[in-house]
């Protein structure tokens, strides 16, 4: 039943998403008692220019090297 929505910077590979989704689901099953099939995880890939911290865009604060 739970919905777990994750906003994170763009750039994770599909394999990383597999692992993250599985670990988040495990967390909900083990700690919240959720039925496994009922856990939905949705990723929202956010561009660095679409996230600001203290008024500064991620693209400025964390520039690609």
Torsion of CA 27, 3, 17, 22, to 10 degrees: 30
Per rule CB under 8 A, is residue 38 in the interface with a copy of itself? yes
Binding test (CB under 8 A) with a copy of itself, winner from 5, 63, 64, 65: 5
If one asks whether residue 10 binds a copy of itself (CB under 8 A), the answer comes out as: no
What are phi and psi for residue 13, nearest 5 degrees?
A: -80, 165
Query: Is residue 64 within the footprint of a copy of itself (CB under 8 A)?
Result: no
> Angle CA(44)–CA(48)–CA(50) in degrees, nearest 5?
70
7 scored as a contact of a copy of itself (CB under 8 A): yes
The enclosing H or E element of 14 equals helix 14-32
Residues near a copy of itself (CB under 8 A) are 1-9, 12, 14, 16-28, 30-32, 34, 36-46, 49-60
């Amino acid at each position: 039943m739970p919905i777990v929505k994750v906003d994170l910077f763009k750039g994770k590979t599909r394999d990383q998403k597999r692992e993250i989704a599985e670990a988040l689901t495990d967390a909900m099953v083990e700690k919240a008692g959720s039925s496994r099939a009922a856990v939905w995880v949705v990723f929202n890939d956010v561009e660095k220019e679409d996230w600001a911290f203290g008024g500064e865009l991620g693209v400025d604060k964390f520039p690609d090297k």
